[in-house]
Structure 1
Amino acid sequence: MNYLRTAILLAGLTALFMGLGYLIGGGSGAIIALLIAAATNLFAYWNSDRMVLSAYGAREVDRNSAPELVDIVAGLAGRAGLPVPRVFVMDNPQPNAFATGRNPQNAAVAVTTGLLQSLSREELAGVIAHELAHVKNHDTLLMTITATIAGAISMLAQFGFFFGGHRSNNSGPGAIASIVMMVVGPLAAMLVQMAISRTREYAADNLGGRIAGQPMWLASALARIENAAHQIPNMEAEHNPATAHMFIVNPLSGRGMDNLFTTHPSTENRIAALQQLARELGTSGGMSRGPWG
């Protein structure tokens, strides 16, 4: 099911890319856009994880430089039946995290310094378990490729605006088409990101709570991260908004945005779902050390 959904979403992004190409250059533009989309998909498959990690200045750590973090990741990966992913730290005061990689064998988990400084060990374990759930559910490839292609769509739409504007002197149908590209392209890409993120965040919360064995650890972490994310800007995310859906909580500082256009489900709803899962599992939500300690 995940692979079918991945194929459908990537086909939709490619079709959107071709549509923008057609508005810019007619049939030839659509063909060129198709070739660019194919090249982008291929490049993103092999390199999108490195691109995203580089965009956030993430540095790889090991047991010598971050022993507690690496031990938590390794222990939870064992519980999830996954290879131990590479671990990265981003120098950013906003508490947040994401996972990336084309498959579990090439996965990486990245956390911010703000996350390490503001969460308890148990809350950190809940966040790591959530990210490992994305890896186990094979979400990371789709989420990372979508970030790459969505960014390309936004750039193509902006290029079409300027190209079409110069060609038509900013008047008549050409100018209208250019404005449509400028608005509809990024909006459509954002809607695809939203569709990916919302359904998969709930699934990753559920599986992450089961991996950690204590869903309330993640619930507590989500509440803390959500509160801080609205107060502490993530400038790298602001400069790379196409990657916002990859984070455990939306890293962008937009205000007054309608709920329809957010990349993540309501944190309140996510916490409620985790509370229900805790009741189903009969866990107390206590803060004892986990079996990976």
Structure 2
Amino acid sequence: MNSAKTWFLMALLTVILVLIGRFVGGAHGMLVFLVLGIAINFFSYWSSGRMAILMTRSRPASEAELPEVYAMVRRLTERANLPMPEIYITPTDQPNAFATGRNPAHAKVAVTEGILRLLPARELEGVLAHEIGHVRNRDILISSMAATLAGVISYIANALQWAVMFGFGSRDDDRDNVALEIITMIFAPIAAMMIQMAISRSREFKADATGARLVGDPNPLADALEHLEMYAHRIPNPVNPATSHLFIVNPFRGESIARLFSTHPSTAERVARLRNMRILG
């Protein structure tokens, strides 16, 4: 299923770029942007994890710097029979976390400065278990690619707006072509949000359940989600909006139009499901 979604995102990006190429340079522009789309797809597949780290301004953290986090992640990955991921710190006061990478062998787990200060160890382990759940469920590639592609489309949309302002683009007088140019310019940023929404919200429920089983108790994660949701309303997160779906809770609750296109299921529903879980053994 995730493989099909990956191909879908690649195809969608290519179509969007070809339409933008039509606006920029007609048939020749379509060909150029087709090649560009193929190149971006190839780059995104192999480098989306690194791009997500760069887009969130995260930095590597050593075991000497975060011994407790390393101990928790090592314990959880051993239970999940996974290799140890790289650990990063994201420079924001909002408590949050995310996982990224091409596959478990190239996984990266990032925690924010805020989560290290504000969550007790018990809840932090629940959050880390959720992120290891994403790695185990192998949905980090599709999420990482979506962040990269949404960022690319948003960047191109901004450039397109400047092109329109300065009179660049197709010189065809055909009104249909002019309408197509306007529609393309409007559609591009919406497409970036739709790409993020294409990531099934069910993956968060699955990662919650996997994380709860790794810890052996659903309550630490349930408690953490309630606290993270509360902090998300109070503490801003200056990360790139294209990466919002990566985080365990939506970092833009209550302060961005992106909330209308939520990439996360209701936190209350996630908590309710966790509270009702019964873990055997």
Structure 2 length normalisation: TM-score?
A: 0.89
Alignment check: 8 A CA contact 2:95 2:114 kept: yes
Distance (whole Å) between structure 1 residues aligned to residue 28 and residue 4 of structure 2: 29
Q: Which residue of 1 aligns with 2:38?
A: 38
Distance (whole Å) between structure 2 residues aligned to residue 180 and residue 163 of structure 1: 14
Q: Choose which of 173, 183, 186 in structure 2 pairs with 1:183.
A: 186
The Cα shift of 1:252 comes to 1.9
Alignment of 1:94-133 (within 5 A): 94-133=94-133
Alignment of 1:193-272 (within 5 A): 193-235=196-238, 237=239, 240-255=240-255, 257=257, 261-272=261-272
Distance (whole Å) between structure 1 residues aligned to residue 255 and residue 57 of structure 2: 26
Distance (whole Å) between structure 2 residues aligned to residue 109 and residue 190 of structure 1: 23
Distance (whole Å) between structure 2 residues aligned to residue 14 and residue 271 of structure 1: 38
The Cα shift of 1:12 comes to 2.2
The alpha-carbon distance between structure 1 residues 160 and 175, as it changes in their structure 2 partners (threshold 3 A), is: farther
Distance (whole Å) between structure 2 residues aligned to residue 155 and residue 53 of structure 1: 17
Letter in 2 for 1:129: A
Alignment check: 8 A CA contact 1:164 1:178 kept: no
Structure 2 gap ranges (5+): none
Distance (whole Å) between structure 1 residues aligned to residue 126 and residue 104 of structure 2: 19
Distance (whole Å) between structure 1 residues aligned to residue 39 and residue 254 of structure 2: 32
Aligned length: 277
CA RMSD of aligned residues (A): 2.4
Letter in 2 for 1:161: Q
Letter in 1 for 2:199: I
Alignment check: 8 A CA contact 1:197 1:245 kept: no
Alignment check: 8 A CA contact 2:59 2:88 kept: yes
Q: Which residue of 1 aligns with 2:160?
A: 160
Q: Which moved more, 1:97-106 or 1:160-169?
A: 160-169
Q: Which moved more, 1:89-98 or 1:26-35?
A: 26-35
Q: Which runs of 4+ in 1 moved over 3 A?
A: 171-179, 253-260
Structure 1 gap ranges (5+): 284-293
Q: Which residue of 1 aligns with 2:279?
A: 281
Distance (whole Å) between structure 2 residues aligned to residue 272 and residue 6 of structure 1: 30
The alpha-carbon distance between structure 1 residues 41 and 201, as it changes in their structure 2 partners (threshold 3 A), is: same
Distance (whole Å) between structure 1 residues aligned to residue 154 and residue 55 of structure 2: 17
Distance (whole Å) between structure 2 residues aligned to residue 197 and residue 254 of structure 1: 22
Distance (whole Å) between structure 1 residues aligned to residue 48 and residue 256 of structure 2: 31
Secondary structure, in 3 states, of the residue corresponding to 1:187?
helix
Deviations 1:223-271 (A, max 9, x none): 1011101111112x1xx11111111111125548586511211111111
Secondary structure, in 3 states, of the residue corresponding to 2:95?
coil
| Percent identity for Structure 1 against Structure 2 | 43
